[in-house]
Structures are given as C-alpha cells and as structure tokens.
Structure 1
Amino acid sequence: MTILLAFSPHQDDTGAVELACQLARSNNDTVHAVTVVPQAWPTAVAGDTDRDFKLWAKEEGEWSASKARDVLAEHPDVVSEASWCAGRSVPQALLDRAAELDAGLIVVGSGDEGPHGKVFLTSKTDRLLHSSGVPVAIAPQGYWCGPTGRVTRATLGFRGDDATWSLLDRAAEICRRVDASLRLVTYAVRGRTMRPSTVSGAEEMVHQQWIRQATAELQEAVEHLHSLGFTDDQVSSEVAVGTSWGRAMDRLEWHRGDVLVVGSSSTSSLLQRVFLGSSAAKIVRNSPVPVLVVP
C-alpha cells in the first residue's frame, strides 16, 4: 500500500514524516511525500508576471521534493519517494494525488498553533477530513517515533453501534497483520451539574447504569476478538470516565507505539467520507497519540 504524506517544507515539525514512516514500517508499505504549491490562474495570454509565478512555483516544488527526500532519508528502512503538484486547494490537490497514486492512507501533521504533544486540526486538515474517501492519520505536534518505531497497540473508540462493530473487524484485521494489540475504549463523559441534589442523584444513577451497559458491550466485543484468535494479552477494554473529554483521555495510559482509531460520524449524510461527529472531534483534539480517522 502507498501512504501519501502531506509534506510542508516550511514547518519545523516533522511529526507527519515520523508517523508516515512508523505506519509504513509496521506494514511494509511505501511512503510518497507530496507538497502542494500554489497554482496560477489561467490567462488568455501569459504575461511576464504569470511566467515568473509559474517558474517560482516549479522551483518551490522541486526544492520541496528535494527537502522531503532528505528528511525521509533519515528512515532508510522505509521505501519512499517525493513529488510536488500545483493546486488552488491543498486538500483537493492531496485527494487528487492520492487517487493518482492509489494511496490507501493520507498522513498529515498538526498545526503549529496547537499545543506540543497534542493533535491540532488546521482548517486545511478539517476540509480534508470532510472530503476524504480514505483514512486520514494525524500526528500530534512534535511527534517522534524513533528510527525503528512501529505501531504496537491500537486504541479503538467503541460506541457499540453497527458502524463501530464493522470498524472493530477492520481494526482487528490490521492489528493481526502488524502484530499489534488492540484496546477498546468507551468514553463516559459527564459534565458538572448545578442542579438540585435530588436531580443530581438521579443523573448519577443513570450515569452509572450507562457505564455498566458500556462495560457489558465492551466485554461482548472482547469475546468477539477472542473468537478471532486474539489472546488475553492482545486485547483489553476500558471505560474512560471524566467530567470532560480531556480528563477522560487523561485517565487512559498511553505508550510510545500507540495509535488511536476513530470512526467517522454514523449520522453523516456524506457516505464513505471521513466526517467527524462532535464526539469524535473532541476525542481527536484531546489525543496525545497519533489518530487514524476511518470512514
């Protein structure tokens, strides 16, 4: 499989490169880095300004591809290539290039404005997520996996609906192929309440009942994984409880080699598109590890 890496030569953060190579190394895939440079507007007769712009864009693209090759050379065990293309929309240009390369995955980095060690969605990444028909992996700001880093565990956000069960089988297949363990997590987020104590007590009873139900659904999923050949040390489950999405994520232990797998919204009308629902978006923005968003 080809992994398309969205490469930006003007960013100091090489987290996307690290993640792309980590994913490729885990599954014997190839990495193709692509830089998108601005495209000139078509004119009836090209003037000097237009020719100068096209020349600048070509030089910028070739320099970017050369820089991408230099960065990828730090991962000599990963087969890689680099190229550039022109486009007025970076997300659309990446999608077009992914289709040309028959890429099965697009890898992007987090914006420079985001906190170090967290996933931060830029406006371009957000548009890409709303349009991509293939999974998109997002590296946290400053991500580093090391020269031999591989994926060792996938954490799947489990909702218990039909879409998540389908995603579970896909994640299980990938984990078996890359020899990684699988952790299932259901998030139980409950904000603070300012209501009377009697109502708060009723809310707590409902919350605890929901946790018990989620735990039972997780156990059913674990038994399903056992039927697929997963052993006890290859699968685990947990309900992450917190008063906010950030606190729920902090309750979980994270290790180097972890990736978080999130399914796109089951209520989206954009079929076969990576469309983040409100819950998935909050999970992604609070993740301390790379996130793989799957249609």
Structure 2
Amino acid sequence: MKYVIGCTADERGREAISLALTLARSLADPSTVSLELVHIIRGEAPENTATQSEKTFQQFQYDTAMGWMQRCLDLVPSALDAQIHIRFADSMAGGMLEAVAAFNADLVVIGAASHGPLRRFTVGSVANALLHSSPVPVALAPSGYRPPRLLTRITCALGTRSGSEAVLQSAVEAAAARHVPLRLVSLVALDLSQAQGISNLGQRTQAHSSRVLDEAVSAVAHRTVVTAEVAQGRSIEAAINTLDWDEEELVLIGSSRLAERSKIFMGATANKMLRALPVPMVVVPRYHIAAGSEPAARL
C-alpha cells in the first residue's frame, strides 16, 4: 500500500505528513505502507532546460528543496518505509497526478491552503484540482491540524444516490484495518420555515440510515462496531455542527454523481462540509476500484 504525500516547505506540508503518519500508524500492520514524500517544482528538470541561466535556477530550486525534504523525511519514524522524491512538471497538480500514477498509489495526502483559519479547510488551487480529478482517494488535513498518534473513529457521510457503495465499502475496510468504530452519518439540510414535508423527509432519511447500517454491519463481518446517526439542520454546515466530533477521527465522503467513473469530483455537499468540518476528510472516487482490482479503497 502506498501513500503519495504532497510536501511543501510550510505548515501545510507538515500537516500532510502528520495525517499520513496517523493513517499509517493506526493500521494493524503499519509496515504494509510505503510513504512517498513528493515535492513538485514547476518547469523542466535542469538537464532539459533551454538556457544556462534556467538550468542554474532549476538546479538551485532542486538543491534547496532536497535540503528541506531531508528534514521532512526526519519526521517519519524509522519503523515506517519512506522515500523522498523531487519531480518537475508543468503544474503542481499535474505533477502530483503523475506521481500518483508513477507510484501506483492507493492514496494521496495533502494539506489545506496555508491561509485557512485554524482547524478549518481552505482549499487551494492544487487541492482543488486533485479533488476534481484524482483517480485515487484524496486525504485533506485541515489547517492547524495537530495529529493524534492513532485514529479512534472513522465517520462516513452517506447519501442516497448511486455510487455510495464505494465510499461505504472504503469506510468499512479502513475502520476494520485499524480496529476502530465506524460511524455512518446522513446529513439533512431542512428549511425549517417550511414545516410541511419535514417530518416525512426525516422519516425517509432515518429509513435510509437504517438500511445502510444493516449493509455495513453485514459487510464488516464482526471486525468493528458500526453505528448510524442522522444530523439535521438549516444547512449542511449546521447539521455537521449538531454532531459530536472526536479530534482523533476522520471523515470519508464520496464524489459527486457528476464524477467520471473511478475519479473524484467534489460536489456541493462536500464543499459545504469542508467549511464546517474540524477533522481530516478523505474523498473517495465514484465507483472506486483500488490498486490490485480490489473492490474498495485501501486507506
């Protein structure tokens, strides 16, 4: 299993590494994970540049990056397998996607934009591109993330549209691999000024939650504890705020129905969740098939 981690010379890069370490150390067997620490330099590699001045500048960027990438490697415990990579590409996002393909990655881990408020997400241009095109799950650490050593719970936000089976199965596998409880959540944004129909909607959502709970319990095969909740509010953000959040958990969500098969596309609900979540989020591609043709994401 391989994690590609987007490294930058700021807190965002440190937060991405921290989240990757938490995900890896929480596994029953962390030695099964390889961490590929990747930094992208825009432009051509020094040997491919057109002029001597460009070659000198690109080599300077490479040497500088290699220095602090070595310090990034020092953040990884010796018990975990980790390598550093400096790659050149036309764009940061394009370079990350090329790295995902080159390393046959199971997961890409990135940090929120550095100007985001404490413990909240601000999605920068690179994260935005990955969240709309990655062929593998994307894990996003919120700004100011201070990681626990181990995860204590995984929450999975489920909708009613087709494709939710991929994120559900991914969540089941991720929770079982770490021996932590799995919480299923249905988020309902209700216009409380329009009382008519709210009761029926709530009943339908409760019924849906019960159904997916039954499916998850069956799928998990007694490997972990599964619970389900329905969160209601005036908005998705308000519904999220009604839930209790453990600082040592993360959230899995699926992609929009507009996503191409086995690719991510952030939908409106996911974008609203990003503004409210106090914990890391993992976005799973629609109808995802993980490396090795397994029917669930390996996280």
TM-score range (shorter-chain normalised) is 0.7 to 0.9
Q: Are 1:53 and 2:61 an aligned pair?
A: no
- Select 2:40's aligned residue among 22, 36, 40: 36
* Residue identity opposite 1:189 in structure 2: A
Kept in 2, the 8 Å contact 1:121–1:285? The answer is no
* Residue identity opposite 1:34 in structure 2: V
| Structure 1 residue 114 displacement after superposition | 0.9
Relative to structure 1, is the Cα distance of residues 284 and 230 closer, same or farther in structure 2, using a 3 angstrom cutoff? farther
1:196-252 Cα deviation digits (max 9, x unpaired): xxxx4xx32312211111111111122222323566981111111111222211111
| Structure 1 residue 115 displacement after superposition | 1.1
- RMSD over aligned Cα atoms: 2.4
- Select 2:67's aligned residue among 48, 59, 63: 63
Q: Are 1:212 and 2:203 an aligned pair?
A: yes
| Structure 1 Cα separation of the partners of residues 10 and 271 of structure 2 | 27
Report the identity percentage: 26
Relative to structure 1, is the Cα distance of residues 53 and 241 closer, same or farther in structure 2, using a 3 angstrom cutoff? same
Structure possessing the higher radius of gyration over alpha carbons: 1
* Residue identity opposite 2:137 in structure 1: P
| Structure 1 residue 172 displacement after superposition | 1.2
Q: Are 1:288 and 2:290 an aligned pair?
A: no
Relative to structure 1, is the Cα distance of residues 276 and 49 closer, same or farther in structure 2, using a 3 angstrom cutoff? same
Aligned to 2:169: 169
Q: Which runs of 5+ in 1 are unaligned?
A: 193-199
Corresponding residue SS for 2:62: helix
Q: Are 1:274 and 2:264 an aligned pair?
A: yes
Corresponding residue SS for 1:266: coil
* Residue identity opposite 1:87 in structure 2: A
Give 1:125-136 correspondences, 5 Å limit. 125-136=127-138
Corresponding residue SS for 2:258: coil
Corresponding residue SS for 1:162: coil
| Structure 1 residue 145 displacement after superposition | 1.8
Relative to structure 1, is the Cα distance of residues 44 and 238 closer, same or farther in structure 2, using a 3 angstrom cutoff? closer
Q: Are 1:88 and 2:79 an aligned pair?
A: no
| Structure 1 residue 54 displacement after superposition | 2.4
TM-score, length-scaled by structure 1:
0.87
1:162-217 Cα deviation digits (max 9, x unpaired): 3113421232122212212111111111346xxxxxxx4xx323122111111111
Aligned to 1:153: 153
TM-score, length-scaled by structure 2:
0.86
| Structure 2 Cα separation of the partners of residues 233 and 176 of structure 1 | 6
Count of residue pairs the alignment pairs up: 281
Moved more, 75-84 or 271-280: 75-84
Relative to structure 1, is the Cα distance of residues 280 and 230 closer, same or farther in structure 2, using a 3 angstrom cutoff? same
Moved more, 39-48 or 15-24: 39-48
